[in-house]
């Protein structure tokens, strides 16, 4: 089983994003199917207090960590997640329907590969020609290495854990 962490888009933007609750809510909606299929055990939302995510977290039955930075949020969320495997997803993006099956198939090999990246669906000519250049919007990794590196953000997780393997499914932009 996997614990999911949904990051507020405000962390990526470096400032308060007015539509953060909507973006996070859409990402949570896309994760419902993965929870129902038994792949995800719990979901935690991480965002700044100015995003007003408390009502959304309460209605969705998720945990909420309010932090001034993504690094602070990561350190707090990694101390409380329930499973050894963590799926980090940027708010505003959604894994497609095949994510549950692929994540389930990948779990036995995850430790050897170091993790897996969820990339955005190609949306430009360059990313259509070279899909590996599409922006990463999610990562699947073990909790212990994440604690050791104390990541600043999603790209920092990918870089410092040297994750090279990409999931075959592609995320969709929700906002």
Q: What is the CATH number of the domain that holds 152?
A: 3.90.550.10
The total number of structural domains in the chain stands at: 1
**Percent of the chain beyond pLDDT 90?**
45
pLDDT for 39 beyond 90: no
Q: Is 80 exceeded by the pLDDT of residue 55?
A: yes
Strands (E), the chain: 2-7, 40-47, 63-66, 85-90, 93-94, 116-120, 136-142, 166-173
What is the arithmetic mean of pLDDT over 158-175?
85
pLDDT at 109: 79
Straight-line distance from the first to the last Cα atom of the chain, in angstroms, rounded to the nearest whole number? 28
Greatest mean pLDDT among 40-49, 128-137, 160-169? 40-49
For β-strands 93-94 and 85-90, DSSP reports them as unpaired
Q: Distance between CA atoms of 154 and 131, rounded to whole angstroms? A: 19
The token duo for 162 is: 């040297």
The more confident residue out of 8 and 96 is 8
pLDDT band with cut points at 50, 70 and 90 for residue 66: very high
pLDDT greater than 80 at residue 11: yes
Q: Are 60 and 54 in contact (CB under 8 A)?
A: no
Q: Considering the entire predicted model, what is its pTM? A: 0.90
Task: Give the domain range for residue 72.
Answer: 2-173
Q: Is the pLDDT of residue 82 over 80?
A: yes
């Amino acid at each position: 089983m996997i614990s999911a962490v949904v990051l507020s888009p405000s962390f990526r933007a470096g400032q308060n994003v007015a539509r953060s609750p909507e973006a996070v809510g859409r990402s949570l909606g896309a994760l419902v199917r993965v929870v129902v299929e038994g792949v995800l055990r719990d979901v935690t939302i991480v965002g700044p207090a100015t995003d007003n995510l408390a009502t959304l977290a309460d209605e969705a039955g998720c945990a909420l960590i309010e932090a001034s930075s993504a690094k602070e949020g990561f350190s707090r969320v990694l101390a409380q997640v329930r499973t050894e495997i963590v799926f980090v997803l940027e708010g505003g993006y959604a894994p497609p329907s095949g994510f549950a099956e692929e994540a389930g198939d990948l779990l036995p090999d995850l430790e050897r590969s170091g993790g897996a990246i969820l990339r955005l669906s190609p949306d430009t000519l360059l990313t259509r020609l070279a899909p590996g250049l599409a922006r990463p919007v999610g990562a699947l990794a073990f909790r212990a290495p994440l604690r050791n590196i104390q990541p600043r953000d999603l790209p920092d997780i990918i870089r410092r854990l040297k994750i090279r393997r990409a999931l075959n499914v592609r995320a969709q932009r929700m906002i």
